[in-house]
Structure 1
C-alpha cells in the first residue's frame, strides 16, 4: 500500500508532472499553517482520464467530501451506500474504499493536514473528536436542505481561499469546524449486510494497518499499533471476529502475524543499522529492552546481539 501525502494526492488528480502541483503546495501550505484546499468534485474526478475510484491507500491527510450521486463506501466488514447525497469524513486512521456507482456525480471536497486544524484558537485536538474515532460511522446521509446548507459552506470556502483577506485561514478553519460539528449531529448511513468478500476485506485492511508502520526509518520512530486489540479497535470490529477472520484467510492468529512482522523488522534493523538493541526495542514498541530480547530469542532461538554478530 502507498502512503499518500498531500503532494501524492495532487499527483493522482492532476497527473504526475503537472506544473500546478508545486504552485498549489506553495500557495496553500506553510510550516505555520499546515495545508488546506477545496475542490469541485465533478471538475477533478469525473473528467478526462481522472480516476474516480479511491483505493485503500493510506492517506496522510484529512478529507471531507460532500457527495451527490450513487456511491458505495467500503471499510473493513462494513459497506455503506449513498443513494442520493451524503457527507464523508476521512481520517488517516481509517482506510476506506470509495466506489462511484454512476457517472452522475457532483459535490465538493476539502483536504487539510492535522497541522492546519491544530492552529485553531479553540485548542481543538482533531483526533479526539467523536467523528474521527476508529469506531465512528464516518459516512452520513443528507436530505436536500442539509445538502444545500453544506454546499453553501463549501462555496464560501472556495471563495475565501482565493481572497486576500489577512485572516482567511482562521475563517477557513471555522468553516471546517462547522462541517465537523454538523457531521457529528447527523444520523449515520445505514450499513449494508456484510458481503461475501467482507472477510477478505478485513484481512487486507489488517495487513495494510500492519505494514503501514514499517519500515522503521529512525531511532525516534515507534510503532503505534502493538497488540491485536489495537488493530481490532482501529478496524471497528471485535477482537474475536478479527481472530476468526485471520484464521480463516491466513491460517494464523492475529498475534502470530503481528509477531512475525516485528521479528522480520527486528532482523533487518539488527543487520542493516548501527542502532543499539535498546533503540531497536523502543522502535518496535517494547518498553523494556529485556522484554524485546526475550521476545526475539523466543522466535529466533538467538539473542539480538548474537544474531547481529
Structure 2
C-alpha cells in the first residue's frame, strides 16, 4: 500500500502551495471540505489530519466501518489507513493537515494525546453547541493561515490545541490515567514497540520482532517477566498480541496492496509462504488467497 505524503496529497487535489513542502520543514494547512469532495482512496497518509465532518458518509479505518450521520470530529495519523466515502451531496466542514515537523517544532505533547494514538479514539460526535465552537475555531484558523504574521504557526498550533481539548472533554478523565505500576509500564512499552514496526509499506521493510523473546531482548527484561506482565494487564499472552497484530497487517496488505501472497509472507517475516498460509488459516479459518479473491 503506497503511503501518501503532503506533496502527493496536493497533487491529488490539484493544489499549488506557496511554500516548499518537505518532511523536515514545519508545515500546516487548512481547507474547506467542500473544495475537496469525492471518495478518498484507502491509504496510509504520512501526515496528521483533523477534520470536522458535516455531511453523511462512511468511514473505514483500523478494520472498522462507521456510518457518519451527524457532525463528527475525526483525528487521523500516519499509523492508520482510512477511506472516506461520502453518502450525501452536502459535504461541509473543514480540515487541517500538518506534518511531524510542525509538532516537533514546539512540543510533542499533541501527538501523545489519545486521539493520535493507534489504540485511541479517533472519531467524536460533538453536540450542536460544540460543533458551532469548533466551526468558529476552524474559521479563525483559515483566516490566520492567510495572514502574513511571522508567528502564525504558533497561533494555529494554539487553535489546534483548543480543538483537541474540545474532543478530550467528550471522554471520561479516567480514560487517560497513566500506568501506575511496573507491569503496566512494561506492557505499554511492549505494545508501543510492537506498533512501531507497522505499517509495512515496503517489501524491504521486513518485520524484525516476531517473538516474545525478541521483544524481551529489546526491552532488557526476561521473557517470562514480559509474558507475566502483559498477561496480567491485558489478559492476553505476548504471543497472542504479536499474532493478532500480524493478522491485522496481513489483512491490510491482502486487501489493499498488489503484492503477491509470497511477498506479503516475506515482508511479515515468514521464511516460506506455506508457513504464512498455515499461520493465517489457523487464525482466521481462511487462506490468504481466499481472502484476496473475496476482494476482487
Residue 260 of structure 1 corresponds to 266
Output the TM-score relative to the length of structure 1.
0.59
Residue 136 of structure 1 corresponds to 120
Partner-residue secondary structure (3-state), 1:177: helix
Cα pair distance change 1:95/1:225, threshold 3 Å: farther
Partner-residue secondary structure (3-state), 1:55: strand
Q: What is the RMSD computed on CA atoms of the aligned residues?
A: 3.6
Quote how far apart the aligned CAs of 1:66 are: 0.5
- The answer to whether structure 1 residue 86 and structure 2 residue 50 are counterparts is no
Provide the C-alpha distance between the structure 1 equivalents of 2:160 and 2:207, rounded to a whole number of angstroms: 27
Contact 1:140 1:183 in 2 (8 A): yes
Residue 163 of structure 2 corresponds to 179
Greater relative contact order (CA < 8 Å, ≥ 6 in sequence): 1
Output the TM-score relative to the length of structure 2.
0.61
Quote how far apart the aligned CAs of 1:73 are: 1.1
Segments of 5+ residues of structure 1 without an aligned counterpart are 15-19, 46-51, 189-205, 217-222, 231-236, 251-255, 266-309
Give CA deviations for 1:133-158 in whole Å, capped at 9, x if unaligned. Answer: 11112011122111110011111011
Q: 1:57 aligns with which of 37, 40, 43?
A: 43
Residue 96 of structure 2 corresponds to 110
Give CA deviations for 1:18-37 in whole Å, capped at 9, x if unaligned. Answer: xx52x4343xx578751110
Residue 74 of structure 1 corresponds to 60
Q: If you compute each CA radius of gyration, which structure gives the higher value, 1 or 2?
A: 1
Provide the C-alpha distance between the structure 2 equivalents of 1:56 and 1:91, rounded to a whole number of angstroms: 14
The within-5 A match list for 1:183-262 is: 183-187=167-171, 209=198, 211-216=200-205, 226-227=209-210, 260-261=266-267
Segments of 5+ residues of structure 2 without an aligned counterpart are 173-194, 216-239, 255-261, 272-296
Cα pair distance change 1:31/1:211, threshold 3 Å: closer
Give CA deviations for 1:213-254 in whole Å, capped at 9, x if unaligned. Answer: 4435xxxxxx67733899xxxxxx96665677869x98xxxx
Cα pair distance change 1:228/1:173, threshold 3 Å: farther
Provide the C-alpha distance between the structure 2 equivalents of 1:57 and 1:31, rounded to a whole number of angstroms: 18
Quote how far apart the aligned CAs of 1:264 are: 8.5
